Amino acid sequence: MKHLTLLVPDGQSKLSSIICTYKVFLKANAFWKNIHGSDRFSIQLAGISDEVEFYDGLFSVKPHVNISKIAKTDLIIMSALNNHDYPGSISRNKPITDWIVKQYKDGAAVATMCTGAFLLASSGLLDGKSCSTHWAAEGTFREMFPKVNLQTNLLITDENGIYTNGGAFSFLNLILYLVEKYYDRETAILCAKMFQIEMDRNSQSPFIMFTGQKQHGDEMVLQAQSYIENNLQEKIVMEQLADTFAIGRRNFDRRFIKATGNTPVEYVQRVRIEAAKKAFEATRKTINEVMYDVGYSDVKAFRDVFRKITGMSPIAYRDKYNKESAVA
């Protein structure tokens, strides 16, 4: 029998991610035992405190065991964090991250949910590896962990025995992914049906709301961002934009990438597609009308960029998120 450790970090982590993971794996165990005669995993909630409070003491969890009592485990699952004090959470939970590093070196696989990736990244285990987290935490994560290959468009990453996933309740998809990996497809399908979780989702791109990375302090880049956002319908020539700031194109691109994580051209695309998404959600404009409104004149180019950024075609996005369109 394998051993599964569900970590309960100190501080405000996501109670829902702990409870739901525990329930799904219990159901998977029961199904497996009915067929094979034994549990697939022994499951323990573990932490560094005897009791961890949630939501200002409204709820609490009493871990089964202190991590110091677990000499060997096969799979570790880290819950999501529920606050934005990532440095504080990292400091409080250093014994947990140190323990994870030891267990990983001894052969354990590690999975993190949503912003739980901040704790794992602080251990150094994600350096040079792919990782996802909630798209809203992208800027902070990149600033804190520049050595990690952050890919917030991905719902799940799987690399060298380390699994991460995107934001909020997408952790349910990671749970199913792990159930299929450590039990089998049949068990994962059963859990999906019992808990009514959509299977095989692989992207959180349709859920990303791009607001522009503005917490960088480079005044020139902020002015360039403002110009782009206020001139979506215009043809924006980057050489001319760079000239307005009396800077060469190469240096302009370099500063823009350093500040925002995107090239200027990528930034224009993301701002335009975000405006298109909002139009599809709130108006009954046609694809062509929206395309022209956000500065595109070529239908194929618009569709290609839209799909690249959202993972969906413009028509599919409009039909999914516009209530009037769905009724029609």
Beta bridge partners of residue 203, listed in sequence order: 154
pLDDT tens per residue, range 58-74: 999 999 999 999 999 99
Tokens standing for 297? 């004149």
Altogether, the residues listed in the chain come to a count of 328
Q: pLDDT band for position 55 (50/70/90)?
A: confident
The Cα–Cα gap between 80 and 19 comes to 12
The Cα–Cα gap between 226 and 44 comes to 51
Residue 50 above 90 pLDDT? yes
Phi, psi dihedrals of residue 77, rounded to the nearest 5°: -125, 125
Q: For the chain, which domains are there?
A: 2-205 (3.40.50.880), 219-327 (1.10.10.60)
**Among residues 234, 228, 111, 214, which one has the least CA distance to residue 171?**
111
Tokens standing for 248? 């060469």
pLDDT tens per residue, range 256-274: 998 888 899 999 999 999 9
Question: How much of the chain is helix, strand and coil, in % rounded to 5?
Answer: 55, 15, 35
Tokens standing for 303? 């569709």
User: What is residue 254's DSSP assignment?
Assistant: H
